[in-house]
Amino acid sequence: MKDGFLRVAAVTPDIKVADCDHNADEIIRLAKEAARNDASVIVFPELCVTGSTCGDLFLQKTLLDGAKAAVEKIAKATAKCDAVIIVGLPMEVHGKLYNCAAVMANNDVIEFVPKKKISASEAGVFAPWEASSLFLERSKLFSSFLTDVGSFIFECENIPELALGIEIGDDNTAESLAKAGATVICNLSASPEIVGRSSAVKKLAEVKSAQLHCGYIRANAGMGESTRDLVFSGYNLIAENGKIIAESRKFTTGITYTEIDLFRIAAERRADKNFTVKFTPENFDYSQFVMKKKDLDLTRRFSLNPFVPENKDELCNRCEEILTMQATGLATRLRHINGKTAVVGLSGGLDSTLALIVTVHAFDMLGLDRKGIVTVTMPCFGTTSRTKNNAYYLAEAYGVTLKEINIAAAVRQHFADIGQDENNLDVTYENSQARERTQVLMDIANMMNGLVIGTGDLSELALGWATYNGDHMSMYGVNGSVPKTLVRHLVAFESNNTKDTKLSEVLRDILDTPVSPELLPPKEGEISQKTEDIVGPYELHDFFLYYLVRCGFAPSKIFRIAEKTFAGIYDSETIKKWLTIFVRRFFTQQFKRSCLPDGPKVGTVSLSPRGDWNMPSDACVRLWLEDLEK
């Protein structure tokens, strides 16, 4: 089970109602196929051994005996399958009939789990499992094995992160199972299809798996069930931590696979201080099994840009919401200090453009005159006409105040004062310009009783790609929790939604401009210093950032999923090179994040030291680099 990935399967067999022998053969065939494909947990639908639409036939001893014989047949035939196999059947216990799940592993049937809540249509046949009925003594309900019937958490002895909880139909026991320690909930369902039900089931699985920090496997009845009054779609899904990671097409049979990340589930639970596992033997018993650990070739898909929604409508909604949150944060701060002026260093690049957009929206919220937004362009040794012109066009289009202050003379005076050779294009050469720009912005803000609006984004903070006490500092940083890959979409959203054709053209040209601090002299009038050539592609760094901070993954695991995700875009050597740089810089540059200005948190990842990311500035990176070298 390398990196915590466990392959699971939700299976819909093509059954025949009341033909237990046929159904057993179909279950055995699919279970063996799933096991050959390295599935470790294989979940079948509710009452799949008999079919869920048998009606009063469930009361017939012939059918009940056939179901028991079928389960024995399945257990024996799958004895060599290294997997937990869960099937649904009717079972008589002490004179009552229960809708049960048989849990098989280690060449045996471990236990039977009965359904707790019975619908009106089931009440004439099945009895609900009551608390007073819990934990029957081990009895010989079957000829070939002894077993218990009751509510269980199935714990894997050699994989401590794996604990299975069984939910049948609409029992709604997922929360109590998770709070009792279950990390993967297996839902055996026989839910007929009606218009809209699959969407509701999908949303419910997303909500459950998010709230409970768990994996959720739903196997539903399908082809072969009686269609006298109902139709069954066989819609199966697998969810994890609020996302559907695999689903089947409706009205199909067969196997749906993916890998659940047990390590991520454990990390989410560690991070959520409000989630507490309480072992409750009065409600659940704990049954153990052993499972072989398997190294898998991952079939699971990971998003290329985890901070950016893939659905276009969702992306538009996300952009609108984030811009509103950023603007609301700034508007609230301005109103609190009775501020009427904001100062933005406008370079003509992406980050300062987004900062200006946010500031304009905030001023509009407050009904303030946009002329109170003072944009300052400060050309120096590396400034190109393209970015300078775009800064002018932006200021004009938004109707804000623009000042041009050429800082070259001031920087040269500073070089003379400290003895810096202007021909030495070292870090002092670059940072002197960045710090001079910040000084100018701060002093203008003092003169005008305004706030300096920070432009640096989350990706730059993660890498420490900012000049300490230069662009690193401001009076309110509106972009501090927005990653670079999302900055582009926010600017594009503004471009698509403005009615000003000229503004839209300028914003699109800014989107096409290479990311650069413009601190080194241009070559033939073009930008010579491209950030992504120096620190690496931001799409990789944002990927690394998400899985390191949001998910708590080890660098070796991040490397593994990045190899799969970026296959055909970057080779393994390139990914490892930039990941090594990211990890090293993430640790060594923490001191810059330890004294960040205030700014609005807009997403699940933030590096603010005031509650989101508390890390010592002198933490040692050795363990993380050693892990990557593995």
Q: 481 and 395 in one domain?
A: yes
Q: 211 and 144 in one domain?
A: yes
**Nearby residues of 36 by Cβ (< 8 Å), 6 or more positions away:** none
Q: 327 and 278 in one domain?
A: no
- Residue 123 in any domain: the answer is yes
Per-residue pLDDT at 146? 61
Q: Do residues 597 and 477 make contact, with C-beta atoms less than 8 angstroms apart?
A: yes
Q: 151 and 54 in one domain?
A: yes
Per-residue pLDDT at 137? 46
Q: 222 and 180 in one domain?
A: yes
Per-residue pLDDT at 111? 87
- Residue 295 in any domain: the answer is no
Q: Do residues 384 and 390 make contact, with C-beta atoms less than 8 angstroms apart?
A: no
Of 254, 289, 324, the one marking the end of a domain is 289
Residue 135 has pLDDT above 50, yes or no: no
Q: pLDDT tens, 532-544? A: 888 899 999 999 9
- Does residue 245 or residue 139 have the better pLDDT? 245
- Residue 301 in any domain: the answer is no
Least confident span in 52-66, 128-142, 271-285: 128-142
How far is 206 from 201, CA to CA, in rounded Å?
9
Question: What is the CA 476 to chain-centroid distance, rounded?
Answer: 28
- Residue 297 in any domain: the answer is no
- Residue 305 in any domain: the answer is no
Q: 393 and 275 in one domain?
A: no
Q: 415 and 338 in one domain?
A: yes
Domain count, the chain: 2
How far is 509 from 516, CA to CA, in rounded Å?
14
Residue 48's CATH number? 3.60.110.10
Torsion of CA 460, 383, 360, 362, to 10 degrees: 30
Tell me whether residue 103 is exposed, middle or buried, using C-beta atoms within 10 angstroms of its C-beta: 0 to 12, 13 to 18, 19 or more. buried
Residue 438's CATH number? 3.40.50.620
Q: pLDDT tens, 273-308? A: 888 887 665 677 888 999 988 889 999 999 999 999
How far is 378 from 345, CA to CA, in rounded Å?
8
- End-to-end Cα distance, the chain: 16
Per-residue pLDDT at 523? 76
What is the pLDDT averaged over residues 32-52? 97
Q: 242 and 348 in one domain?
A: no
Per-residue pLDDT at 134? 46
Q: pLDDT tens, 171-189? A: 999 999 999 999 999 999 9
Q: pLDDT tens, 197-230? A: 889 999 999 999 999 999 999 999 998 998 888 8
Closest to 543 in 3D by CA, of 587, 594, 578, 584: 578
Q: 280 and 318 in one domain?
A: no
Per-residue pLDDT at 193? 87
Q: 152 and 245 in one domain?
A: yes
Residue 528 has pLDDT above 70, yes or no: no
* CA triple 425-426-427, angle to 5 deg: 130
Q: Look up the pTM and report it.
A: 0.90
Q: 161 and 128 in one domain?
A: yes
- Residue 131 in any domain: the answer is yes
CB atoms within 10 A of CB 11: 30
- Residue 304 in any domain: the answer is no
Q: Do residues 483 and 542 make contact, with C-beta atoms less than 8 angstroms apart?
A: yes
Q: pLDDT tens, 438-480? A: 999 999 999 999 999 999 999 999 999 999 999 999 999 999 9
Q: Report the residue count for the chain.
A: 630
Per-residue pLDDT at 194? 87
Domain enclosing residue 558, as ranges: 312-629
**Nearby residues of 603 by Cβ (< 8 Å), 6 or more positions away:** 307, 322, 481, 482
- In order, the DSSP letters of 67-86 are HHHHHHHHHHHTTT--SEEE
What is the pLDDT averaged over residues 547-558? 96
Query: What residues does 453 pair with on adjacent strands?
Result: 476
Per-residue pLDDT at 355? 98
